[in-house]
Chains A and B, each alone.
Chain A
């Protein structure tokens, strides 16, 4: 069963942290991906560029409409994600609690809908 762990944080507060602290969080996050890989729970993970880089695309009546991110007024932004394989919600919660971002922001745990017919890119 796959879960997406979506890390939300306050970008402004994050950017005010000193460089060493941010490096530390990143290093811990990378370390976590290796631990998850070793236990067979890792699928994918990545941090995201700040929300200011975000572009919103709508396709209406065949025409793409591109705008700036509509959610700048919300305080919490998506900082990155971990895609994991867990037995059930409790295992996913235990992993979410280990995500360094959980200490400064929040981690949303979302189960994936498992559908058939997608290209299989994951190595066995």
Chain B
């Protein structure tokens, strides 16, 4: 010890230099981790055939990068290096454990020969994109429970931690972790294949993926319970997912959904007051709308509509675009919007869409036309427990001067909503009527 301490100064200098270099390398690896880790994982799952094994391999590969790149420099293709290192580490780990379990040795051999081509094959972009799609379709597989699909997509495709997902969905990290563990076990045990669906199955499977993406978006956009804070990130993640899908799989509905999310998100800054009060579309300060998102959304919608193949997301995006294009609420082209809702009702008949159509008709033809339509819907009993149906009825009655009926409908709506900002909005309207 004493001999070494004699050289303390030099040793200190040398160590500081290495520490600096290591820290710098750690930052570089972290940057590459942020941009590449999901692709690396997606490919490793294909090569290793198991989520858990692939995650461990990916982790080991990034840890090895910090050490080895500092010594040998950053490789020309970091992603290929990481994939190949991860695969090697996984096979190596299996070999070591094989001393206790002979079946693992067989598995390691199989993996090695099955994935040997990766070292001779250059890493083209196309198979990597396929791997990302494989990952998305597997996470959104209909054999998984819907809430598991959402958790898996956010964890595996977006790279959110279980804590982040739990915070966004106002639940415990343990609940999310359990959902993910179960989903992975099901993927493994039920042999859910890691593949992009065949063309014949693609429309249905893509529907499921788009549903998950839109669910994530809506969870962030109109938090179904509690306060809206901390949940905006979810909408951002959904838009990122939408972009990825539209880029990887240029399907009209994937484009339509991306457009819809961009156009809705463009109004984020205008839809609540600084104190968190809800501001209706007609009362929003349109100068707060994000013009960049609107321009991108409208371009996407126009692209989809020009192909003539329109699905529900594209039509909803077209409706959102019609609102975005109106300079003022009064300038809204309600005739066009009523037409689009008619189209949407044909594509996807549902009482909620019928309600929206009734509201559009009221804007075009006046509140009494809207009241007749909403009463007809409510009479069928479909939307009796849907707060917005009663809120719409209340609004029509208020504008027709039928105060007593308006008050009763506001009260019914209030008793049915769980969202804080909406409660406050309805309470405000009720108070205004009493004055």
Contacts and interface: CB of A to CB of B under 8 A. Distances in A.
Interface of A: 1, 87-90, 92, 109, 111
Interface stretch (B33-41, B186-194, B294-302): B186-194
B143 interface: yes
Nearest to B189: A111
B412 to A, nearest CB: 35
A109 B142 CA distance: 13
What is the interface of chain B mostly: helix, strand, loop, or mixed? Answer: loop
Interface string B181-216: 000000001111101000000000000000000000
12 contacts: A1-B191, A88-B191, A88-B192, A89-B143, A89-B190, A89-B192, A90-B192, A90-B193, A90-B195, A111-B189, A111-B190, A111-B191
Tell which of B143, B191, B192 has the most Cβ of chain A within 10 Å: B191
Nearest to B191: A88
Interface in B138-163: 143
B364 to A, nearest CB: 46
Tell which of B189, B190, B195 has the most Cβ of chain A within 10 Å: B190
B193 A88 contact: yes
Contacts of B189: 111
Nearest to A93: B143
For the complex of A and B, the 8 pairs showing the least CB-CB separation, nearest first, are: A88-B193, A88-B191, A89-B191, A89-B192, A89-B190, A111-B190, A90-B193, A1-B191
A77 B416 CA distance: 38
B188 to A, nearest CB: 10
Contacts of A88: 191-193
Contacts of B191: 1, 87-89, 92, 111
Nearest to B141: A89
A90 B193 CA distance: 7
Contacts of A87: 191, 193
Nearest to B195: A90
A31 to B, nearest CB: 23
Contacts of B193: 87-90
Contacts of A92: 191
A47 B228 CA distance: 54
A27 B143 CA distance: 30
Nearest to B187: A89
Tell which of A1, A87, A111 has the most Cβ of chain B within 10 Å: A111
A57 B195 CA distance: 43
Tell which of A90, A109, A111 has the most Cβ of chain B within 10 Å: A90
Given A90-B195, A109-B190, 17 more contacts: A1-B191, A87-B191, A87-B193, A88-B191, A88-B192, A88-B193, A89-B143, A89-B190, A89-B191, A89-B192, A89-B193, A90-B192, A90-B193, A92-B191, A111-B189, A111-B190, A111-B191
A88 B190 CA distance: 8
Contacts of B195: 90
Tell which of A1, A88, A89, A109 has the most Cβ of chain B within 10 Å: A89
A1 B143 CA distance: 17
A92 B190 CA distance: 10
Contacts of B192: 88-90
A9 B395 CA distance: 48
B114 to A, nearest CB: 15
A90 B192 CA distance: 7
Nearest to A112: B189
Contacts of A111: 189-191
Interface string B38-71: 0000000000000000000000000000000000
A90 B190 CA distance: 10
Contacts of A89: 143, 190-193
A89 B190 CA distance: 6
A111 B186 CA distance: 10
Contacts of B143: 89
B115 to A, nearest CB: 18
Contacts of A90: 192-193, 195
Contacts of B190: 89, 109, 111
A1 B191 CA distance: 8
